[in-house]
Structure 1
Amino acid sequence: MTTFYLAVLIFSALILLAALSSALAYRFGAPLLLLFLGVGLIAGSSGFGIRFDNDALTFFVGSLALAVILFDSGFGTSLKTFRASAGPSLLLATLGVAMTAGLVAVAAAVILDFDPLQGLLLGAIVASTDAAAVFFLMRIGGIKVLERVSSTLEVESGINDPMAIFLTITLVTILSADGPTDEGAISLTLHFLREIGFGIVFGLLGGVLTVLVANHFGRNRGLAPILVLTMALLIFSATGAAGGSGFMAVYVAGLLAGNRRVRYSGSIRHFQEGMTWLAQIVMFLLLGLLATPRNFPEIAAPALALALFLVFVARPIAVWLCLWPFKYTLSEKGFISWIGLRGAASILLAILPRLYGLENAGIYFNIVFIMVLMSLMLQGWTLAPVARFLSLVQHKHGGTLESVEIDLAGNAKHELVVYRLGEGAPVLEGARIPRWAIPSLVVRDGRSMRYFYAGSLKAGDYLYLFVAPGMSYLLDRIFSGDGGDDSGGVLLGSHVLVPERPLKELIGIDESIEIPPGEAETPIADYMKRELGGRAVVADRLHIGSLSLIVRDIDDDNNIVSVGIWKNPDGDPKPPLFDPIRRALTRRANRRHKRTG
């Protein structure tokens, strides 16, 4: 028992030390995962002398940790982001991984005198990128990269691990059998397709089950996150036992569940964020403890040469060829090429040659460890400067400080958003707050007060509003002090329509929309006023297919005299406000009022 308590004490202290090291990362912009690895290295056999050499335990714990991270990555990815970059990301995650592995194999043959299979194994181990490292560095760098680029990196990083794992396990199996197996290229291809196919199918089914379990059994706010995490691990293990890719399954399940309405989703997201941090810390600590830095010098030179080849040659060639069919700019391709950080997945896969007892297994692990360290230091520290140099940093419009989903009874649902009002914010100069945003609380000089008793809003105030989910981004411009002119038309529309024109003319803007039966000749203003309940307010929005009709101005008699239009690039947004059911109920209530009155 003394040994048990001592082991728990030491490991808890290491986790605490790793967590506290995040302050250094935020202060100096250091790659946080590098600090986690550093804590493990310092505490290991070449540092404070903690001896840890359990490869199997590290691999299994690391696999579970990676499953937790991938589920959270999928859960936090919107379908809009996924659809925007699905094609290029899938190519990068499959063909790009294979091309990177092949190019590294060529370099390994030259630099290390590896035979083709050995070189290909090394290439497969380092072929996938690390999502956690990329997006953490973007956050602490204080930058927001253009959405097209960030979504490509996000989706690629979330789905490229299955390809790297498949290649690594296949090559390890072949090398452990002292040569090619009876399986030919066609058989291996079918095996890969089965793994990915099972992963997608199990992931879709698991995502549906996760939503059902969370909504029907997660009636306790504290229990719901546990149910969701347990479902993720169940999906991962069941898919693997059935011969599929558990990593693909948990990502797909998270993607599906995260884009459905789930009870206590705010609590679930906060819990998963904490579990993801814990998973990363535990995984990197174990990998750091497993390493033996005293053996690094003898292999350092070739490992650094391979790392530089991967960063400056292999990754760029793979990215440029995979993105060639798509309309990415030179700067976008260059940034995606540069931000291909290697992380925990690569070191985890480097354990497999040791588990299978391959010749020179230690060399694989040490080389990969040095390559990951080089990647985190070289690419990790330069992410923000490279993004600024390539002019890919997206201008910030203030935006919400925080968004919290509020779980209400029945189908009612709102978000509580918080803004800090900056100097020059349009709302301080008379801009109206749309009626679908309900101000509730103002915090001024550390004191809270109800909105209606706060008087005129002032710069520096924190304003709390209740907003229907998905609508808060429309408020960013009127609460921001640096771009609140709505020049992009998001709040009041990018073009102005003549309100007296018939509704059918909207088809000339978007041929895919369907005009409600019998409304083709109805003037736009009359239709909007009726559908909005008979009373319009500036910034009210009405959605028809992919188009948003927006009230820009009204006269003293509450007639709409100016209509703006905004075309949603992702099609019909299906907003919670003024949905077809609510509009039908409003029309029915108006007709009943006229009959009775």
Structure 2
Amino acid sequence: MALINHIILIGAVLAVISILLGQLSSRLGAPLLLVFLLLGMLAGEDGLLGLSFDSYGATYAVGSIALAIILFEGGLRTPREVVRLVFWPSLTLATIGVVLTALCTAGIAVLVFGMTPLEGVLMGAILASTDAAAVFMLLHGQGVAVNARVGGTLELESGMNDPMAVFLTLMAVALIQAGASMNGWDVAWIFLIQLLGGGALGAGGGYALRWLLERLNLSAGLYPVLATAGALLIFAGTNALNASGFLAVYVAGVMLARAPYRAQQVITRFLDGLAWLAQIAMFLMLGLLVTPSDLVSNLLGALILSAGLILVARPGAVLLCLLPFRFNWRERGFVAWVGLRGAVPIFLASIPILAGLENAQVYFNVAFVAVLTSLLVQGWTISRAARFLGLEVPASAPHGHELDISLGHGATRELAGFRVMEGARALNHTYGDLQLPPQVDIVSVIRESTPLPDFRATRPGIDDYVIAIAPPTEIAGLHQHFAERGKDSGGLAGFGEFVFDADTPADDLALMYGIDLGPGARGRRIGDVLHDAMGDHVVAGDRVKFNEIELVVREARDGRMRRIGLELEDTRIHLPVTRALRKLKHPLKSWRAFRRLNRL
């Protein structure tokens, strides 16, 4: 009894310290996952508390559950328009990209550690996939918003690439144990079962979970419990059928979020907290599991391999995989840089140990150093990389709202409450004149604790509390009407010296600024004209140039532009990356001139 109580006490203390240190890390710009990992190491065998923990089996079990919860919550937060926009590039990176990264890393491992080719493939497979927990947390926790095409690709890739990494790792372990005697058709069949089976079972499980949520009348607190239990059932059941449980649970989350469902806000908030708890528990355990003194013997080789992974393997795979898709070189560069490694490589590195392979500890030690290097180098520089490459876009206002009431079985709308903030767009209109999304109605407005009797004829005031009935999918967009304008624009350069709605007549814009939009623009909205030039699906940050004037998408929703910025010059020439390339170009010119003089 005393031992169990001590374990609970130590675990709770470490969790509380992790959260408190997280506040400090956010001020320093350090990745929060790195804090969790280092805290576990400090509490471990070589650390201050000297706790001895070497249960790879327990770590594998806890890591599986934690990763399933993180993936399910990530799927719930993946907007359906993002899935439509970036599904194919994400799938390419999650399959072909993982294979290319694994093979390139395998070659480096063979050269550095003197491994056999098959052992090198195992090392490459362990390190090949990006980590969903790291990508989800660091993309949303660094205070920098990137456009939906880039951010969505990274998130969707990290949610889908674990099955390929797990498959390659298990196949490499099996081939090493069997002496590379496995039939190639057997390998292909297992891969198809893992990928197609995981996707199909995840989609079916997501629809089944929605069906249950819509038809069961439960206490409000039981809906998130049902959703979590259903996600773990999908994960474990899919694994039992030899398909990919990780892919299945992520797809289930995406499918559940495709349309409004009962108790949606309660479930998403609960799972957000549960995902945080899963990340803390997983990274603390991984930190406890490692013994820093054991890393020294493989440290130099692990650092060389990590550098090769970050600078060669990942960029090469991204460059090849994204060539057929609509990404510019700056977007490809950011996707290549944010190939974050987290718990998954360490989690996969425990498989050779559990399988009893020779020198299995080397895989674990190298994977741990690679993860630590990735979090330190890539995780710490995400926001700087986005600004350097000019990919930062105006951040959307926070989607939080204080009221959340489900209207019962079969209801397609929910009650939601919003506080009117200083500088909000709504302050320029009366409540009755607000251009609200379809199926959205304002029910009441409370000012100074008193409901306004005739609010539709009243202009909003700062700190008014607005109660509306809306579909869950419209709540985030509705919040933009009442959010602080400064948080929406972010004061970013390059997103329009002048801003106007996509419904603005193109003729008015052409007359006012002297823009030649072409004969096809007459009598049309400027948004439709720009969609002709940019395609049906656009994201914030997409831009097109007309003579000396540049039009940039400032806000988009469901792939359609809502607001547009007008720049009087091409601001990309002032980007940090452009200035750096110009500085690099001048020394090259000087060197060529010097060589020409020497030939005279």
Length-normalised TM-score, structure 1: 0.78
d(CA) in 2 for partners of 1:478, 1:217: 34
d(CA) in 1 for partners of 2:369, 2:350: 14
After TM superposition, list the pairs within 5 Å mapping 1:228-267 onto structure 2: 228-267=227-266
Q: Is the 8 A contact 2:86 2:152 kept in 1?
A: yes
State whether structure 2 residue 465 is matched by structure 1 residue 466. no
Q: CA deviation at 1:496?
A: 9.2
d(CA) in 2 for partners of 1:366, 1:212: 45
Q: Secondary structure at the match of 1:99?
A: helix
- Residue 77 of structure 1: aligned partner: 78
d(CA) in 2 for partners of 1:68, 1:149: 24
Q: CA deviation at 1:463?
A: 4.2
d(CA) in 2 for partners of 1:231, 1:139: 26
- Change in CA separation of 1:349 and 1:488 when aligned onto 2, cut-off 3 Å: farther
- Residue 141 of structure 1: aligned partner: 142
Q: CA deviation at 1:464?
A: 2.6
- Residue 4 of structure 1: aligned partner: 4
Aligned residues: 498
- Residue 411 of structure 2: aligned partner: 411
Q: Secondary structure at the match of 2:414?
A: strand
d(CA) in 1 for partners of 2:556, 2:135: 32
- Residue 171 of structure 1: aligned partner: 172
d(CA) in 2 for partners of 1:159, 1:217: 31
d(CA) in 1 for partners of 2:403, 2:308: 44
d(CA) in 1 for partners of 2:459, 2:478: 22
Q: Is the 8 A contact 1:218 1:227 kept in 2?
A: no
Q: Is the 8 A contact 2:139 2:151 kept in 1?
A: no
Q: CA deviation at 1:261?
A: 3.0
Q: Secondary structure at the match of 2:379?
A: coil
Residue identity in the other structure for 1:153 = L
Q: CA deviation at 1:569?
A: 6.0
Q: CA deviation at 1:238?
A: 1.1
Q: Is the 8 A contact 1:335 1:386 kept in 2?
A: yes
- Residue 444 of structure 2: aligned partner: 440
Q: Is the 8 A contact 1:131 1:154 kept in 2?
A: yes
Q: CA deviation at 1:495?
A: 6.2
Q: CA deviation at 1:73?
A: 1.2
Q: Is the 8 A contact 2:18 2:39 kept in 1?
A: yes
State whether structure 2 residue 201 is matched by structure 1 residue 189. no
Q: Secondary structure at the match of 1:384?
A: helix
Q: Is the 8 A contact 1:488 1:494 kept in 2?
A: no
d(CA) in 1 for partners of 2:152, 2:500: 21
d(CA) in 2 for partners of 1:411, 1:263: 8
- Residue 558 of structure 1: aligned partner: none
d(CA) in 2 for partners of 1:462, 1:304: 55
State whether structure 2 residue 379 is matched by structure 1 residue 380. yes
- Residue 107 of structure 1: aligned partner: 108
- Residue 587 of structure 2: aligned partner: none
d(CA) in 2 for partners of 1:452, 1:17: 49
- Residue 129 of structure 2: aligned partner: 128
Residue identity in the other structure for 1:468 = A
Q: Is the 8 A contact 1:266 1:404 kept in 2?
A: no
Q: Is the 8 A contact 1:74 1:253 kept in 2?
A: yes
d(CA) in 1 for partners of 2:314, 2:425: 45
Q: Is the 8 A contact 1:416 1:465 kept in 2?
A: yes
Higher mean C-alpha displacement, 394-403 vs 154-163: 394-403
After TM superposition, list the pairs within 5 Å mapping 1:389-404 onto structure 2: 389-396=388-395, 398=397, 401-402=400-401
- Residue 344 of structure 1: aligned partner: 343
- Change in CA separation of 1:75 and 1:338 when aligned onto 2, cut-off 3 Å: same
Q: Is the 8 A contact 2:418 2:482 kept in 1?
A: no
- Residue 550 of structure 2: aligned partner: none
Question: Can you give the 5+ residue segments of structure 1 that lack an aligned partner in the other structure?
Answer: 498-508, 510-545, 548-565, 572-597
- Residue 590 of structure 1: aligned partner: none
- C-alpha deviations, 1:40-78, integer Å up to 9, x for none? 101111112111111111111111111111111112212
After TM superposition, list the pairs within 5 Å mapping 1:174-573 onto structure 2: 174-177=175-178, 179-181=179-181, 183-396=182-395, 398=397, 401-402=400-401, 405-409=404-408, 410-423=410-423, 425-430=424-429, 432-434=433-435, 436-438=440-442, 440-441=444-445, 448-451=449-452, 457-458=460-461, 460-461=462-463, 463-469=465-471, 470-472=473-475, 473=477, 476=480, 481=485, 487=499, 489=501
- Residue 66 of structure 2: aligned partner: 65
- Change in CA separation of 1:401 and 1:245 when aligned onto 2, cut-off 3 Å: closer
- Residue 159 of structure 1: aligned partner: 160
- Change in CA separation of 1:479 and 1:57 when aligned onto 2, cut-off 3 Å: closer
d(CA) in 1 for partners of 2:65, 2:167: 17
- C-alpha deviations, 1:532-561, integer Å up to 9, x for none? xxxxxxxxxxxxxx99xxxxxxxxxxxxxx
- Change in CA separation of 1:496 and 1:463 when aligned onto 2, cut-off 3 Å: farther
Q: Is the 8 A contact 2:44 2:52 kept in 1?
A: yes
d(CA) in 2 for partners of 1:168, 1:210: 31
d(CA) in 2 for partners of 1:77, 1:221: 24
Residue identity in the other structure for 1:294 = S
- Change in CA separation of 1:80 and 1:309 when aligned onto 2, cut-off 3 Å: same
- Change in CA separation of 1:26 and 1:399 when aligned onto 2, cut-off 3 Å: closer
Q: Secondary structure at the match of 1:438?
A: strand
d(CA) in 2 for partners of 1:106, 1:242: 33
Q: Is the 8 A contact 1:74 1:251 kept in 2?
A: yes
Q: CA deviation at 1:478?
A: 7.7
d(CA) in 1 for partners of 2:287, 2:558: 45
- Residue 559 of structure 1: aligned partner: none
d(CA) in 2 for partners of 1:163, 1:153: 16
Q: Is the 8 A contact 2:413 2:469 kept in 1?
A: no
d(CA) in 2 for partners of 1:493, 1:463: 31
d(CA) in 2 for partners of 1:400, 1:237: 32
Q: Is the 8 A contact 1:103 1:123 kept in 2?
A: yes
Q: Secondary structure at the match of 1:351?
A: helix
Residue identity in the other structure for 1:464 = V
Higher mean C-alpha displacement, 472-481 vs 138-147: 472-481
Higher mean C-alpha displacement, 471-480 vs 231-240: 471-480
Residue identity in the other structure for 1:440 = S
Q: Is the 8 A contact 1:401 1:420 kept in 2?
A: no
Q: Secondary structure at the match of 1:427?
A: helix
Q: Secondary structure at the match of 2:444?
A: strand
Q: CA deviation at 1:494?
A: 6.4
Residue identity in the other structure for 2:67 = L
Residue identity in the other structure for 1:461 = D
State the structure with more CA Rg.
1
Q: Secondary structure at the match of 1:466?
A: strand
- Change in CA separation of 1:481 and 1:213 when aligned onto 2, cut-off 3 Å: closer
Q: CA deviation at 1:439?
A: 6.6
Q: Is the 8 A contact 1:489 1:495 kept in 2?
A: no
Q: Secondary structure at the match of 1:22?
A: helix
d(CA) in 1 for partners of 2:380, 2:413: 41
Residue identity in the other structure for 1:19 = I
- Residue 38 of structure 1: aligned partner: 38
Q: CA deviation at 1:141?
A: 2.2
- Residue 582 of structure 2: aligned partner: none
- C-alpha deviations, 1:401-430, integer Å up to 9, x for none? 53765311452513525254334x453344
Question: Can you give the 5+ residue segments of structure 2 that lack an aligned partner in the other structure?
Answer: 490-495, 509-519, 521-535, 538-554, 561-600
Which one has the bigger helix percentage?
2
Residue identity in the other structure for 2:466 = Y
d(CA) in 2 for partners of 1:306, 1:35: 23
Length-normalised TM-score, structure 2: 0.77
- Change in CA separation of 1:398 and 1:170 when aligned onto 2, cut-off 3 Å: closer
Q: CA deviation at 1:207?
A: 1.1
d(CA) in 1 for partners of 2:398, 2:342: 31
Residue identity in the other structure for 2:136 = F
CA-atom RMSD in angstroms: 2.8
Residue identity in the other structure for 2:480 = D
Q: Secondary structure at the match of 1:382?
A: helix
